[in-house]
A and B are shown apart, each in its own frame.
Chain A
Amino acid sequence: MIENAELYQSIIMDRTKNPRHAGRPEVFDAQAHGDNPLCGDRIHLFLRRDGTAVSYEARGCAIMTASADLMADAVAGLSAVEVAQRRTAFEAVVNTGTPDPSLGDLNALSGVSEYRSRIRCATLPWSALAAAFEDCKHG
């Protein structure tokens, strides 16, 4: 095993290879698109059941894909306000590298703080999620 590869720990590789929430649902309430022009990462998010269930179609790196999948777990059943709070807490974790006990598996991405150019990969699904909630409001 490679040294200093903490970022690519088993939770992340597992979510990348075996995503739980990938795929376009037949019925959804809202959707939003996110992309990172620097690397071509793309994600399309779908909100179901009044925004309490998230699924996505993603094309991108392991960090972005795992982040999307973990996010879908972490926001299940939450209100829009609670989701916004989680997003703030998550962004603090990936920027500072300090895990937040309330975030559970999302802390697997805390190592991204050491890779400045990759923080955006981890936060992209969350920006798309915020946009999807906007779509919800207007839709």
Chain B
Amino acid sequence: MSAAVKSEFLDVAAIRKDFPILSQLVHGKKLVFLDSAASAQKPRAVIDAMVHCMESQYANVHRGLHWMSERTSDAYEAVRDKTAAFLNAASREEIVFTRNATESINLVAYTYGRAILQPGDAVLVSEMEHHANLVPWQMLRDAHGVELRIAKITDAGELDFASLEQQFADGRVRLLAITHMSNVLGTYTPAERLAKFAHDRGAKILLDGSQAVVHRRVDVQAIDADFYVFSGHKLYGPSGIGVLYAKREILDSMPPFMGGGDMIASVSYERSTWAKPPHRFEAGTPAIIETIGLGAAIDYVNAIGFDAIAEHERHLTDHALNVLSPLVKILGRAQDRGGVISFTMDGAHAHDIATLLDRQGIAVRAGHHCAEPLMGRLGVTSTARASFALYTTRDEIDALAAGLIRVKQIFA
């Protein structure tokens, strides 16, 4: 084991053995996977839990009276408890399973947005949102007459509180929907301060935790979040499972999203009545196996511990900022930031950078990162992005730096 792999916070070499895919070669080179912000790799524990479910404990949930269905329902519902504990939700009924964070936000926009928000009310997002936290609100605006407002960010890539204040000034903002960590700039937003800010002005807050939840312990009660969303696949779990947390009284007030089995209390040809939350929002057979996988992913990160994960990633990020700064232009310099680093290189397009790095086995993302308006705000059309996970090593960041030097040589 090289010294660089064993950090003082995490035994990264041991952790890497948990992820079968990381030992693969790409183009004959060791895979250096620096695209975890798009989707993270999966540990053996997650893979095994899903296989175990299919091999020995699988039937539909909430329906059968037989042993297999009851056991599967128990396992499925146990993940709700786990997720509630993971976010420190006040109760398990506040956890709704969805397909991903995008669906969670669409659910809120469709139900809370249409039933509770009124035409003339405003929804406020920031300039650094993923399309997932912008487009659903545009659709709500167009369908329901709700105004959509945009709070500015500073050149450092932090939320501009003066702009926020301005947008709230006329008292019409009823919902602040904002990222907890930017998928482009790595900026953390001050969730607790924002929640208080919104609540003091009579608005609710929705936090897009797709990135944040992977790197820091999130406590929705300490934040006082009204809504909090994330995806399983970025948290080392499978794709196809996401989470919507919402305060119980808010979920109680919301009509269903989709209709079908499991979300009803009673059905007749004349009318149907709705189940209580969370089942009201889980129509049809859910992603049973993926939910079991999410439970294993939560167990996995809990066992490592967020103190160690956060410390490891903070050191990686500091190291990366040091070695990359002389080579590329890094976008954003927020005080409170995580391991997502977007950059550009003079004369070389992001896609050319990504292709040349790929040939060295280094996977980075290039493009607009589902944040086109933010690209415009930053004055670029696309960036390359390296993002880190608990399995990322200092050696991999050094490999990225070496790869970028070669790109520079070609484009000099």
Contact = CB atoms under 8 A, between A and B. Distances in A.
Interface size on B, as a range, is 20 to 34
Nearest to B354: A117
Interface string B169-199: 0000000000000000000000000000000
Interface stretch (B53-61, B266-274, B343-351, B392-400): B343-351
Interface string A93-107: 000000000000000
A61 B410 contact: no
A60 B381 CA distance: 9
A40 interface: yes
B348 A62 contact: yes
B375 A8 contact: no
A5 B382 contact: no
Contact of B375 (A13, A40, A42, A118): A40
A5 to B, nearest CB: 6
Contacts of B63: none
A24 interface: no
A39 B356 contact: no
A2 interface: yes
A59 B379 CA distance: 13
B405 to A, nearest CB: 10
Interface string A104-133: 000000000001001001000000000000
B80 interface: no
Given A2-B409, A2-B410, A59-B381, A40 B368 contact: yes
A5 B353 CA distance: 11
A118 B410 contact: no
B27 to A, nearest CB: 6
Contacts of A26: none
Given A5-B359, A8-B410, A39 B367 contact: yes
A40 B348 contact: no
Given A40-B381, A40-B382, A2 B356 contact: yes
Nearest to A112: B355
Interface in A1-29: 1-5, 7-8, 13, 17
B52 interface: no
Given A7-B355, A60-B349, A118-B351, A1 B409 contact: yes
A75 interface: no
Contact of A39 (B350, B360, B410): B350
A123 to B, nearest CB: 14
B30 interface: no
Given A39-B367, A40-B375, A8 B406 contact: no
Contacts, number: 56
A81 interface: no
Contacts of A4: 27, 359
Interface residues of A, number: 22
A8 B351 contact: no
B410 A121 contact: no
Contacts of A60: 349
B74 interface: no
Contacts of B406: 2
Interface string A67-104: 00000000000000000000000000000000000000
Q: Specify which of A4, A7, A42 lies most central, judged by the most chain B CB atoms within 10 Å of its CB.
A: A4
A35 to B, nearest CB: 10
B356 A61 contact: no
Contacts of B359: 2-5
Name which of A2, A7, A42 has the most chain B CB atoms within 10 A of its CB: A2
A32 interface: no
A1 to B, nearest CB: 7
A41 to B, nearest CB: 8
Contacts of A38: 367
B165 interface: no
Nearest to B360: A2
Contacts of A62: 348-349, 352, 411
A121 B348 CA distance: 14
B351 A5 contact: no
Interface in A47-65: 59-63
A7 to B, nearest CB: 7
B349 A5 contact: no
Contacts of B225: none
Contacts of B350: 39, 61
B367 to A, nearest CB: 5
9 contacts: A5-B356, A5-B359, A13-B410, A40-B367, A62-B348, A62-B411, A115-B355, A115-B358, A121-B351
Interface of A: 1-5, 7-8, 13, 17, 38-42, 59-63, 115, 118, 121
Given A2-B410, A40-B382, 5 more contacts: A5-B356, A41-B349, A60-B349, A63-B352, A115-B355
